[in-house]
Structure 1
């Protein structure tokens, strides 16, 4: 699966913001220090998150960023998509009729990887920032929310023999 540091860092920073804001703006420098992410990189990510209407900026002394909505209303997939991070496991261009082979055809496992990409998106769309910061994902627990269907816990991985 292709998920670069851009997507991971955006989620880490948003979770940090959700955990530490308590209704007050949080400075990017604080997030950068806690999460060990470059401040200049965070500034680039937060510009995209602001354009994606996920955060609001507050100027002046004591300024910083606030979540634009409650943590339970922001999906992890929203964060990743806001920073232009595609969620895909295929080599093919999203939406392109051209396949992943040099001949422009699809590889034999294309549908497998495309299905995986869709499942990843479904999962990330079912998880909110609130779920992450409240630890509602520990151990593959059931993720439920009013008005959403239950997603089964992940099956345990069998031990290799």
Structure 2
């Protein structure tokens, strides 16, 4: 399974909204400009996220989008499944060999575990090991 731009850009939208959570609505135009993405494409992606209840739209001059839940309550798996469909590396119905079928199932389940245990809060607060080391002071 390869995550398309739908999943990647959808995650970008949601991370931007999570970063501004509690500060009011964020326009898709501002997200598009900050990330050098097409505003029109983001409009197409936000609709299924809104229909699934992950975001709310706010109308008006200062409108935009907000998360409908706290960033800790929305997982990467929620977003990817809405925009990409089921998580599956292969079409299992086509696999006759039980050993290979089991392998594909284990791969699918491993991917699901990572996606379902990674929240928007985790993503926006992520610090790589190298970033943490650069701020370490030794006495």
Q: Could you state the TM-score of these two structures normalised by the residue count of structure 1?
A: 0.73
Match of 1:24 in 2: 24
Q: Which has the higher helix share?
A: 2
Can you give the 5+ residue segments of structure 1 that lack an aligned partner in the other structure? 140-161
- Counting only pairs closer than 5 Å after superposition, residues 1-161 of structure 1 correspond to structure 2 as 1-90=1-90, 92=91, 98-100=93-95, 105-106=96-97, 109-135=100-126, 138-139=128-129
1:25-67 superposed Cα distances (whole Å, 9 cap, x missing partner): 0000111111222111110110000001000000011000000
Larger displacement relative to structure 2 (9-18 or 76-85): 76-85
CA RMSD of aligned residues (A): 1.8
**Structure of higher RCO (CA pairs closer than 8 Å, 6+ residues apart):** 2
Match of 1:155 in 2: none
Match of 1:147 in 2: none
User: The residue matched to 2:94 in structure 1 has which SS?
Assistant: coil
1:116-160 superposed Cα distances (whole Å, 9 cap, x missing partner): 111111111001000000116x34xxxxxxxxxxxxxxxxxxxxx
Can you give the 5+ residue segments of structure 2 that lack an aligned partner in the other structure? 130-139
**Residues 21 and 70 in structure 2, CA contact (< 8 A), matched pair in contact too:** no
**Residues 4 and 84 in structure 2, CA contact (< 8 A), matched pair in contact too:** no
Shift of 1:108: 5.6
**Residues 72 and 129 in structure 1, CA contact (< 8 A), matched pair in contact too:** yes
Return the alpha-carbon distance in structure 2 between the equivalents of residues 63 and 46 of structure 1. 14
Kindly tell me the number of residue pairs found equivalent between the two proteins.
129
